[in-house]
Structure 1
Amino acid sequence: MKPDQIKEWSHFFLTYKFALDEVETKLNILNEEFQFIHDYNPIEHMKTRIKTPESLMTKLRRKGLDISLDAAKHHIRDIAGVRVICSFSTDIYHIVEMISMQNDVRIIEVKDYVKNPKPNGYQSVHLIIEIPVFLTNRTEHICVEIQIRTIAMDFWASLEHKIYYKFDERVPEHIQQQLKGSAAMIDTLDRQMLELNEEVQRHRAQAHE
């Protein structure tokens, strides 16, 4: 790759870093304001990541696309990603609602794997959003993937990812069934913890009456 091409690719990835910075700042502001108004913060923590050049090029090849900046920008929507971890399943939808109300954010796609889990039991809400990044000489509209899930869902997804990696994605059937069964237990745990939290909130409200 020529020096000018390297510079172009480096700047390309830099714009995605800026987009991640914008999204992370927005989420922190929303979380702090929610805490101020409701005395409760829906976001436990966040993780951000940007695909490596190697990973991006591999995905372009897998899709049969040219290895070019134009192909990457218009066809790969998860170059930049934010994972938002919540305490309760209801928090997921609070965050989706708050994001959708931002005037400079355009929601391109929503995949709700909480209401409709994947066959293996995976649960999470995935958003693809487009956010403006204001550069020195232009404005770029950058796609960012946001995954929103509970702590329990994140624990399961992390374990499932490690298992699939160890088995090179050829996981034995009995382990797949155990994973699916543990996903059902995770769902039950999430529901029980939500009910417990709602009961605590009711007692707090009654105590202040």
Structure 2
Amino acid sequence: MDGMDWGNFLLPYEQAVEELKVKFKTMRAELKKREEYAPIEFVTGRVKRMTSILEKSKRLNVPVENIERGIEDIAGIRIMCQFVEDIRRVAELIRQRKDMNVLYEKDYITNFKDSGYRSFHMIVEYPVQTALGQKLVLAEIQIRTLAMNFWATIEHSLNYKYRDSLPEDVRARLKKAGEAAFILDNEMSSIREEILEAQISFEDHSKIVQTCLSCIQALYSYHRVSEAIQFQRKFNELWEQRDMVGMKQLEEVLIAEIKAAKKSIGQQP
């Protein structure tokens, strides 16, 4: 371990994590635009701490010169989903990507651990462009539901506290909590369509409200003050009544008003 420059060693992993986070967040945004619903809820990432790397290399008997290939999760990405079904969709999207190579997968959802741990892992090889040229970095992508992640976060904290030697009563209660998280995921899957319909409806309504307010603000900039005030009053009335049908009609009228205002300005000398 002598002479190991950990700062330089970890740089490509830090770069990989930042790039992968951006790519999966972009994937989420694109899917949401195309389909109104994205199977990705949110994305996080981290580079393993030096102490954790050393502890794992000792536990797995990996010599320091083999750490790059012997420890696969130095760079870690976590993708959270609402539903178990979304996990399979995200995994398939990752398999189809050309900017990373999936080496193998670990399905801890179908084959969950005795502890109750559930998650879907993918080990990928990702090319990082460094100042010294391209470097292939291993990264672990964990895909799980929000319930799975909550349970796994608690388990990780307890394992850290007890140094991986959990008291039997804590282990039993943790396993029971894992089963409860599994039941919760199944219940959410059973009403998935209703949940998605409600979420998409909320998103659509939010867009209508945002468009109306943006158009009203634009009318002020076009010096249509009296019209803007009238439309604001109408908006307030519809908002109080939660009349989304009327709000949609108002949106259409406002869009037409903005087009007319732009055309009017364009015709001026």
Q: Settle same-fold status: TM greater than 0.5.
A: yes
- Match among 26, 37, 41 for residue 40 of structure 1: 37
Q: Which residue of 1 aligns with 2:162?
A: 167
**Which whole-Å deviations, capped at 9, do the CAs of 1:164-203 have from their partners, x for residues lacking one?**
3333332232332222222112111111112222234579
| 8 A contact 1:77–1:128 mirrored in 2 | yes
The amino acid of 1:35's aligned partner reads K
| 8 A contact 1:127–1:146 mirrored in 2 | yes
Secondary structure of 2:41's partner?
strand
- Counterpart CA distance in 1 for 2:178 and 2:63 is 38
TM-score normalised by L of structure 1:
0.85
1:155 and 2:150 equivalent? Answer: yes
Q: How much is the aligned-residue C-alpha RMSD, in angstroms?
A: 2.2
Q: Which has the higher contact order (CA 8 A, sep 6+)?
A: 1
- Counterpart CA distance in 2 for 1:168 and 1:56 is 15
Q: Which residue of 1 aligns with 2:101?
A: 106
Give, in angstroms, the shift of residue 10 of structure 1. Answer: 2.2
The amino acid of 1:30's aligned partner reads M
Give, in angstroms, the shift of residue 101 of structure 1. Answer: 0.6
Identity of aligned residues (%): 34
Q: Which moved more, 1:53-62 or 1:144-153?
A: 53-62
- Counterpart CA distance in 2 for 1:16 and 1:204 is 36
1:191 and 2:186 equivalent? Answer: yes
Secondary structure of 1:175's partner?
helix
TM-score normalised by L of structure 2:
0.68
Q: Which residue of 2 aligns with 1:97?
A: 92
Secondary structure of 1:40's partner?
coil
Relative to structure 1, is the Cα distance of residues 137 and 172 closer, same or farther in structure 2, using a 3 angstrom cutoff? closer
The amino acid of 1:135's aligned partner reads T
Relative to structure 1, is the Cα distance of residues 183 and 55 closer, same or farther in structure 2, using a 3 angstrom cutoff? closer
| 8 A contact 2:69–2:138 mirrored in 1 | no
**Which whole-Å deviations, capped at 9, do the CAs of 1:59-112 have from their partners, x for residues lacking one?**
3333334333xx121211111101111111111111111111111211112111
- Match among 51, 60, 82 for residue 63 of structure 1: 60
Secondary structure of 1:120's partner?
coil
Secondary structure of 1:42's partner?
coil
Q: Which residue of 1 aligns with 2:72?
A: 77
Q: Which residue of 2 aligns with 1:180?
A: 175
| 8 A contact 1:61–1:67 mirrored in 2 | no
The amino acid of 1:113's aligned partner reads Y
- Match among 9, 14, 26 for residue 11 of structure 2: 14
The amino acid of 2:28's aligned partner reads N
- Match among 79, 82, 86 for residue 87 of structure 1: 82
| 8 A contact 2:25–2:43 mirrored in 1 | no
| 8 A contact 1:30–1:98 mirrored in 2 | no
Higher share in strand: 1
- Counterpart CA distance in 2 for 1:29 and 1:203 is 24
The amino acid of 1:34's aligned partner reads L
Quick check: which has more Rg, 1 or 2? Answer: 2
Secondary structure of 1:58's partner?
helix
